[in-house]
Structure 1
Amino acid sequence: MDEERRERIAALDEERLEQIAALPKTELHLHFEGAAPPGFIRGLAKEKHVDLSGIFNRDGSYAYRDFVHFLSVYEAATSVLKTPDDYARLTTAVLEECAKNGVIYAETFLSPDFCGGGDVPAWREYLHAIREAADAAERDMGITLRGVVTCIRHFGPDKAKRAALCAAETAGDWLCGFGMAGDENRGEQKDFAYSFDMAREAGLGLTSHACEWRGASEARNAIRDLGVSRIGHGVRAIADPATVEMIAEEGITLEVCPGSNVFLGVFPSLKDHPIERLRKAGVKVTVSTDDPPFFHTTMRKEYTDLAKTFGWDEADFLEINRNAMHAAFCDDATRDAILKRLEPET
């Protein structure tokens, strides 16, 4: 770390940290159900007379042992989201939290497997309800949301094809991307090529989770086999300089979730996280929260933690947000409008 950044860190006080926390923000890697406030899920479960007490700690937060168990708890929490109206309410709850944290643009991962069981007509109903609530939030809170359909890796390639069909049938200005989430240790990126080809033909932007748990080859496979322009996480690529160089040269943007990576033990601490090394290597990195209540983080916390650890200031975060908007899957008019809102007042 250079001397200038050390001086920035030394000069940080509560007022300076608040200035950084208050910056306008963009977020590309946000799992929709994973962003559900625990209180919202508990309340919905109570309404539906569903006992979900086993997935919460005594303090009301989500309880899980490791990443695989996290996926089970995630799916249990999602199980009370049964109707389009449930998802409309979830949209409002999630966007209220995002807006509180200064997020002005977000792309969220939506799975037709959870929203209608992969059936296109049912998926349309869910999507309509989500979009209506998102439009209301944009009007009332000033936050713009766009949707990225994700297939679930551990559900297998056949279900992925159904998710891709749902995405292709509803592609447009609001539903603008397709990706893959789930257990990275199940199957291979190439197993899902058909689904990504379908989404590409529908004009959707492409992203895939890679290099969160597996090594650098996962990133290369996602780029080569699926043709993605973004990678969810991608952080373990740091172990292979040739892969980092490939990501930088091909202009692939990484959806980095530092707090999530540290919480799950991908890296032991934020100072060990490679986000700054990736930047210095010419990789386009962005900052997101992943599943914020599960990992006890917020976008405000991400910003202040990065400032305290790496000495990032307004110029650094502006670069990060510009990276995000240039990689965003939205239309050009939306991109330009958000980029203008990100610029500092003069």
Structure 2
Amino acid sequence: MRELRTLPKANLHLHLTGSMRPATLAELAARAGLPVPDAIPAGAQGWDAFQSRYDLARAVLRTADDIARVVAEAAEDDAACGAGWTELQVDPSSYAERLGGYEAVVETVLAAAGDRVGIILASSWAAAPEQALRTAGLAARYAGHGVVGFGLSNDERRGRVEDFVPAFRVAAGAGLIAVPHGGFYEGAWHVRACVELLGAARVGHGLTAHADPATVELLAERGVALEICPTSYPPLGVAEVAGLPVRALLAAGVPVALGTDDPLLFGADLAGQYALARDHLALDDDEMAALARHSVLASAAAPQRRRQLLDGIDAWLTH
């Protein structure tokens, strides 16, 4: 079996706060006099168990230097796992009050990102459509300057897909990729709606799509990738790693890219996600390479970087 850390790949599903190193969290929490969130217990804990811990972690990020540090460390951690490209998702509203506005957040993140990180600005399914429209407009302003996409995060049950069409239309007009979360709790209909109404080029998670052959066919026909993050599902009672439909989706022609989501809370880096997929789903090296290829092809990386990573994947398979 080949070493997974040397397999070139891209991480397309990673959130700013959730990318924080545990040691960095502990240091910043001690400085701020805040508690460190405990690990999410195994089993069906529900979304609130995750969100409360995420909010505690986010509260330690007080300054631009804090955020810049987390961005830089996230890029380093992904690179150590073989990632030649990372797309980091940031909701500016989460940090705007402390940094002095949405623009200040974006400028801070972009200044720390480096040339191997693309930024996805995101709103929340729980936010008002007007806030999503504001964030999409901001993303459009920074398109071509490090912002590569626009997304929606959080629990998809808290918003209506059709309410966010105007925001995604603005993002599309600026040439940004559409990457909403979907199909985590809601059924396959939600994944389909994200594609048909929001123009999703990728769907964060999207696991429920596999239950509906018509939705699977739609994803395959349009080349819409699903960003599957193996460690995110067992703690929230969504699915066990061994039950993830990765092989079935690949066989149906659906691009699948493995991501980390929130390694701070779910406990596995990018190489660890690949290892879990290999160990629990019995994927061979050719299938692992296919996942890596999908992550690169579905990314917003520049053509030269894509080619470099794809050549590296081919080389990994032949050595």
Normalising by structure 2, we get a TM-score of: 0.90
- 2:111 aligns to what? 132
- 1:105 aligns to what? 85
- Aligned equivalents of 2:294 and 2:232: distance in 1? 20
- 2:171 aligns to what? 199
- 1:161 aligns to what? 133
- For 2:282, which of 311, 322, 325 is the aligned residue? 311
- Aligned equivalents of 1:264 and 1:296: distance in 2? 14
- 2:70 aligns to what? 90
Query: Does the Cα contact within 8 Å between 2:9 and 2:295 map onto a contact in 1?
Result: no
Unaligned segments of structure 2, at least 5 residues: none
Secondary structure of the structure 2 residue equivalent to 1:290: coil
- For 2:227, which of 243, 252, 255 is the aligned residue? 255
- Aligned equivalents of 2:144 and 2:97: distance in 1? 21
Cα drift, residue 173 of structure 1: 4.5
Q: Mean Cα displacement is larger for which, 315-324 or 25-34? A: 315-324
- 2:19 aligns to what? 35
- For 1:236, which of 202, 208, 217 is the aligned residue? 208
The verdict on how the C-alpha distance between 1:37 and 1:252 changes in structure 2, with shifts beyond 3 A counting, is same
Cα drift, residue 261 of structure 1: 1.9
Cα drift, residue 21 of structure 1: 4.2
Give the letter aligned to residue 33 of structure 2: V
Secondary structure of the structure 2 residue equivalent to 1:254: strand
- Aligned equivalents of 1:325 and 1:273: distance in 2? 21
- Aligned equivalents of 1:223 and 1:36: distance in 2? 30
- Aligned equivalents of 2:93 and 2:188: distance in 1? 29
Structure (1 or 2) with the larger CA radius of gyration: 1
Q: Mean Cα displacement is larger for which, 309-318 or 165-174? A: 309-318
Query: Does the Cα contact within 8 Å between 1:63 and 1:73 map onto a contact in 2?
Result: no
Query: Does the Cα contact within 8 Å between 1:20 and 1:313 map onto a contact in 2?
Result: no
Give the letter aligned to residue 215 of structure 1: G
Give the letter aligned to residue 155 of structure 1: A
Unaligned segments of structure 1, at least 5 residues: 1-15, 139-143
Aligned length: 315
- For 1:222, which of 194, 210, 215 is the aligned residue? 194
The alignment-based identity, stated in percent, is 31
Cα drift, residue 152 of structure 1: 1.0
Query: Does the Cα contact within 8 Å between 2:40 and 2:49 map onto a contact in 1?
Result: no
- 1:335 aligns to what? 306
Query: Does the Cα contact within 8 Å between 1:167 and 1:178 map onto a contact in 2?
Result: yes
CA deviations 1:165-207 (Å, max 9, x no partner) are: 2211111152111111111111211111111111111111111
Normalising by structure 1, we get a TM-score of: 0.84
CA deviations 1:274-326 (Å, max 9, x no partner) are: 11111111111111111112112222222222222333233222221221222
- Aligned equivalents of 2:201 and 2:157: distance in 1? 21
- Aligned equivalents of 1:165 and 1:118: distance in 2? 21
CA deviations 1:213-266 (Å, max 9, x no partner) are: 110000111011111111111111111111111111121111111221233221
1:213 has 2:196 as partner: no
Cα drift, residue 343 of structure 1: 3.1
Query: Does the Cα contact within 8 Å between 1:29 and 1:107 map onto a contact in 2?
Result: yes
Give the letter aligned to residue 206 of structure 2: G
- 1:73 aligns to what? 53
What is the Cα-based RMSD across aligned positions, in Å? 2.3
- Aligned equivalents of 1:271 and 1:38: distance in 2? 27
